[in-house]
Chains A and B, each alone.
Chain A
Amino acid sequence: MSQPVLSVENLQIAFGGHTAVKDLSFEIGARETVALVGESGSGKSATALAIMRLIEREGGRIVSGRIMLDGDEATDITALSDNAMCALRGRDISMVFQEPMTSLNPVLTIGEQLCEVFVRHRRMSRQAALQAACEGLARVRIPEPERRLGQYPHELSGGLRQRVMIAMALACRPRLLIADEPTTALDVTTQAEILELIGQLQDEIGMAVLFITHDMGVVAEIADRVVVMRHGIKEEEAPVEVLFARPRATYSRHLMEATPKLGSGAPVLDRTPATVLEVNGLTTRFVTRRGLIGQKGSAFTAVNNASLTLGAGETLGLVGESGCGKSTLARSILRLVEPDEGSVRLAGHDMMRLGRRELRAARRDAQMIFQDPYASLNPRLPVHELITEPARIHGLARPAECRDLAVSLVEKVGLEADAVDRFPHQFSGGQRQRLCIARALSVRPRLIVADEAVSALDVSIARQVTDLMLALQQSDDVAFLFISHDIAVVERVSHRIAVMYAGQIVETGPTDSVLANPQHGYTQRLLSAVPRPDPTRRRRSRPVDMDAFSPGPLAPPVPERAHGRLARAETA
């Protein structure tokens, strides 16, 4: 490696008294992609913000160490004046963030937000800047760039917004691009497109890329070299092929084992289970109100004629991209959203015919676990009240028995008995999700709906939680409807799988056979987009026609998008 573009030397970052990054050193060469990998709290984002010198804004500070651009002592980022740093940001080093939905200013047009980079760093006139902005949008393969200039962020889909972010970051052809989890919030199909785009632009512009991610699959797809971090300390640094073939650090091995790999086999049910849930022709529409006095406007069919069955002790994995109707289907089954057509039989009840009171009683048989374990537990209740609340509501436990019930529940989900007297904020994300499971179990349900229940967790924690679900399923014979956008996770837990696309279930069957031999074009596309944690099998060309069933950069945001696409797919 010749002169490195960026060298980080003995970097130490602190948030208050807590040291977030300790003695971190690494280099990035021109045209090189270095992946910074680690779980939450490993200090990878803090490192990125320190390189941008934006860390103070987040309440942290650089304690010691040097960050040099082009190996030049004169451009030690930690020592530059605020003005010099300001001129450097967006010109020599730029950054793409995780959340494309919130990272663009909602009240400024795309054109304006792009323009200001050129005006700031290139001293262009507004007219010239607009022209440059238009070229920038074209460079990130956004169709109709002229029209985009006048649009606002909310008019674009998540994938398009991330392209705009990238166009903004690359406006001044920076020498270093920092991408902080740029595809984590995107669907796997969109992720594949964005990763490919970053790779192509790197070839065109010749920049170095610091890619921050928790996903070993993404690392294998794009990285040249990998820095593995844990608790602010570098555990290992190695070329990507070496890391995946012979990881040295225990933690690297641990991380790779916890990463769900597609094709590692699904659980199989050795008997025909008794049916718990039977859904037939379920359709749910959302009607938009419009006009002067709120007349009924166009209806959007979120769930379209969906049918599925689920047996005791069985897990059905429901996969599909955001906006395809997975969550609406789950909510419609419990009538948390009123379906328009179809029938639902849950544990012998005809859910669609139940009155208000009977419906409440019937919901005892089905409990839900949600994605965000921080938002789904009331922070003001102690655990023993929190997790026994459903049992009390359904009259299954007298107040006096609740404590004992709580103790048995927390032990069942693998927590210590003394957890019952604590409050939610005293638990980590994974522990909280266990509490959510304990709460669901308190009424001995026949069905648990887990809606993206492990998506917000680190891979190793997610693994523990899914293992717990499997164990509970064995002991309690409970059925799971496991909703996720992550097919690899779904494969690990599901006996059968249902693929949802634009409100319809397009394919369903035993997990192994669906994944091994996908019939529907969308399933094929979905599977081919999943990154493989194996750098030797990098996708150089795309096996399936990625443009079929593609949301396509032209498409408006979901849900309108998903709807129109299916119509096109059917006529095709």
Chain B
Amino acid sequence: MLTYLARIVLKMLVTFFAIVTLVFFATRLSGSPIDFVIGEGITQEDRALLTSYYGLDQSTWVQYRAFLASFADGQFGLSFVERRPVAEIVGERIWPSLQLLLSSVALTLALSLPLGILGAVYCKSWVGSAVMVVAFLGYAVPNFVLATFMILVFSYWLNWLPVVGNGSAWHFIMPTITMSGILIAGLTRFTRNAMLDVLGQDYMRTARAKGLSEQTVIFKHGLRNASITILSVIGLQIAGLAAAGSVVVEAIFAWPGIGDLLVRSAIVRDYPVLQFGVIAVSVAVLLINAVVDIAYAYADPRIRLGRA
């Protein structure tokens, strides 16, 4: 188990370094930020001055080392646009994003696990078919369409829900649904398939032969085994949500989170913020993966005890 944990940490460190490097070089490919910071009418001299002020005239290698060094002081450099430490700018965005992510994950799990189990246990009746239809519908509707539709109905027509910002609990409803929509559909289908696989296993027949109640058979013997496969997918899905889903949803609902910040910084080429924002999201993804790996070991004794 200790080796397993150590391997997870090592894997995280290597991936982190690769991401940091990739982010640095990828941002350099998008052009100079000076044009955006200053705008038109700038003289050649001022331009050169600014370029050297931000260190953009130095070789890429020197810039890269300065970039890595900026990690050391915990500020991660200054924003080109806001002239504030990057850590501060990104820091105040983390909590709103995390809140939205957590509420979406909670909604996803609360809906898709029961639905998936229901779909598997009643796979031969109309209940199972209904679950599948709902899941396919959820799959087919893109989240920006769902968001626009909800805004139209609940805000514009009925005037029940606020559209912009994160001021109250009401503000959470539409962004959360938008964010988890596709995830619920995907995870419901996956849970159903994983449960169907498990329901056909020999040990399920053994459990029934022991005279256990159907409830115990399905939840204790079935779900425990299915959770191993479900976990592997949940990790990927949530990570995807943290990385990509938040950008669209936060932009639509003007949610003051990291996704929103990333979009804004990309437009004005605010390198330091963009870089650190992407890195922050990547770290979130890495952490989620690590948690899933550990949960995986907890669920499956064959991994925990060091035999695949």
Binding site for B on A (CB under 8 A): 52, 54, 57, 86-91, 94-95, 97, 99, 102-109, 116-117, 120-121, 152, 154-155, 165, 168-169, 290-293
Please give, as numbers and ranges, the residues of chain B lying within 8 Å of A165 by CB-CB distance: 206
Known interface pairs A152-B302, A154-B301, A292-B3. Does A104 touch B228 (Cβ–Cβ under 8 Å)? no
- Chain B 223-250 interface mask (CB, 8 Å, partner A; 1/0): 0110010000000000000000000000
Known interface pairs A102-B203, A105-B206, A105-B225. Does A89 touch B299 (Cβ–Cβ under 8 Å)? no
Please give, as numbers and ranges, the residues of chain B lying within 8 Å of A102 by CB-CB distance: 201-203
The size class of the interface chain B forms with chain A is: 20 to 34
Asked if B300 is at the interface of the complex by the 8 Å CB criterion, the answer is yes
Q: Contact: A107 with B211, CB < 8 Å?
A: no
Please give, as numbers and ranges, the residues of chain B lying within 8 Å of A106 by CB-CB distance: 203, 225, 300-302
Complex Cα spacing A95 to B203, Å: 12
Please give, as numbers and ranges, the residues of chain A lying within 8 Å of B300 by CB-CB distance: 106-107
Question: Among residues 161 to 211 in chain B, which have CB atoms less than 8 Å away from a CB atom of chain A?
Answer: 201-203, 205-211
Q: Contact: A103 with B202, CB < 8 Å?
A: yes
30 contacts between A and B (CB under 8 A): A57-B208, A86-B213, A87-B211, A89-B210, A91-B211, A94-B209, A94-B210, A95-B209, A97-B206, A102-B202, A102-B203, A103-B206, A104-B203, A104-B206, A105-B203, A105-B206, A105-B221, A105-B224, A106-B300, A106-B301, A106-B302, A108-B220, A108-B221, A117-B210, A152-B301, A154-B301, A154-B305, A168-B210, A292-B3, A293-B10
Question: Among residues 280 to 308 in chain B, which have CB atoms less than 8 Å away from a CB atom of chain A?
Answer: 299-302, 305, 307
Which of A54, A102, A107 gathers most chain B CB within 10 Å? A107
Query: What is the distance, in angstroms, from A12's C-beta to the closest C-beta of chain B?
Result: 22
Query: What is the distance, in angstroms, from B9's C-beta to the closest C-beta of chain A?
Result: 10
Complex Cα spacing A243 to B224, Å: 47
Q: Contact: A105 with B211, CB < 8 Å?
A: no
Q: Contact: B3 with A291, CB < 8 Å?
A: yes
Query: What is the distance, in angstroms, from B298's C-beta to the closest C-beta of chain A?
Result: 10
Asked if B216 is at the interface of the complex by the 8 Å CB criterion, the answer is yes
Please give, as numbers and ranges, the residues of chain B lying within 8 Å of A95 by CB-CB distance: 209
Query: What is the distance, in angstroms, from A89's C-beta to the closest C-beta of chain B?
Result: 4
**What does DSSP make chain B's interface, helix, strand, loop or mixed?**
helix
Complex Cα spacing A121 to B211, Å: 8
Please give, as numbers and ranges, the residues of chain A lying within 8 Å of B224 by CB-CB distance: 105, 107-108
A290 touches which of B3, B205, B212, B302 (Cβ 8 Å): B3
Query: What is the distance, in angstroms, from A168's C-beta to the closest C-beta of chain B?
Result: 7
- Nearest residue, chain B, Cβ from A87: B211
Please give, as numbers and ranges, the residues of chain A lying within 8 Å of B203 by CB-CB distance: 102-106
Complex Cα spacing A97 to B205, Å: 9
Binding site for A on B (CB under 8 A): 3, 6-7, 10, 201-203, 205-214, 216, 220-221, 224-225, 228, 299-302, 305, 307
Known interface pairs A290-B3, A291-B3. Does A99 touch B211 (Cβ–Cβ under 8 Å)? no
Please give, as numbers and ranges, the residues of chain B lying within 8 Å of A154 by CB-CB distance: 301-302, 305, 307
Complex Cα spacing A268 to B172, Å: 84
Q: Contact: A116 with B212, CB < 8 Å?
A: yes
Query: What is the distance, in angstroms, from A99's C-beta to the closest C-beta of chain B?
Result: 6
Complex Cα spacing A540 to B173, Å: 75
Which of A89, A103, A105, A291 gathers most chain B CB within 10 Å? A105
Known interface pairs A89-B211, A106-B225. Does A155 touch B206 (Cβ–Cβ under 8 Å)? no
Closest 9 CB pairs of A and B: A90-B211, A89-B211, A90-B210, A102-B202, A105-B203, A152-B301, A95-B209, A103-B202, A103-B206
- Nearest residue, chain B, Cβ from A53: B208
Please give, as numbers and ranges, the residues of chain A lying within 8 Å of B6 by CB-CB distance: 292
Please give, as numbers and ranges, the residues of chain B lying within 8 Å of A155 by CB-CB distance: 305
A107 touches which of B205, B206, B299 (Cβ 8 Å): B299
- Nearest residue, chain A, Cβ from B301: A152
Known interface pairs A108-B221, A152-B305. Does A97 touch B211 (Cβ–Cβ under 8 Å)? no
Complex Cα spacing A291 to B306, Å: 10
Q: Contact: B301 with A97, CB < 8 Å?
A: no
Given A103-B202, A106-B203, A120-B211, 11 new contacts (CB under 8 A): A90-B209, A97-B209, A103-B206, A105-B203, A105-B206, A107-B301, A120-B210, A120-B213, A168-B210, A292-B6, A293-B10
Please give, as numbers and ranges, the residues of chain A lying within 8 Å of B299 by CB-CB distance: 107
Complex Cα spacing A102 to B228, Å: 16
Q: Contact: A99 with B202, CB < 8 Å?
A: yes
Q: Contact: A88 with B225, CB < 8 Å?
A: no
Query: What is the distance, in angstroms, from B226's C-beta to the closest C-beta of chain A?
Result: 10
Query: What is the distance, in angstroms, from A556's C-beta to the closest C-beta of chain B?
Result: 10
Complex Cα spacing A297 to B191, Å: 37
Complex Cα spacing A109 to B216, Å: 16
Complex Cα spacing A104 to B202, Å: 8
Complex Cα spacing A169 to B207, Å: 11
Query: What is the distance, in angstroms, from B123's C-beta to the closest C-beta of chain A?
Result: 13
Please give, as numbers and ranges, the residues of chain A lying within 8 Å of B305 by CB-CB distance: 152, 154-155
Please give, as numbers and ranges, the residues of chain A lying within 8 Å of B221 by CB-CB distance: 105, 108
Q: Contact: A86 with B211, CB < 8 Å?
A: yes
Known interface pairs A154-B301, A155-B305. Does A57 touch B205 (Cβ–Cβ under 8 Å)? yes
Please give, as numbers and ranges, the residues of chain A lying within 8 Å of B209 by CB-CB distance: 52, 54, 89-90, 94-95, 97, 169
Q: Contact: A107 with B3, CB < 8 Å?
A: no
Query: What is the distance, in angstroms, from B198's C-beta to the closest C-beta of chain A?
Result: 10
Query: What is the distance, in angstroms, from A248's C-beta to the closest C-beta of chain B?
Result: 34
Query: What is the distance, in angstroms, from A133's C-beta to the closest C-beta of chain B?
Result: 13
Query: What is the distance, in angstroms, from B102's C-beta to the closest C-beta of chain A?
Result: 27
Q: Contact: B302 with A116, CB < 8 Å?
A: no
Query: What is the distance, in angstroms, from A523's C-beta to the closest C-beta of chain B?
Result: 32
Complex Cα spacing A135 to B275, Å: 63
Please give, as numbers and ranges, the residues of chain A lying within 8 Å of B228 by CB-CB distance: 107
- Nearest residue, chain B, Cβ from A291: B3
Complex Cα spacing A103 to B301, Å: 16
Complex Cα spacing A308 to B228, Å: 46
Please give, as numbers and ranges, the residues of chain B lying within 8 Å of A99 by CB-CB distance: 202
Please give, as numbers and ranges, the residues of chain B lying within 8 Å of A94 by CB-CB distance: 209-210
Query: What is the distance, in angstroms, from B204's C-beta to the closest C-beta of chain A?
Result: 8
Please give, as numbers and ranges, the residues of chain B lying within 8 Å of A88 by CB-CB distance: 211
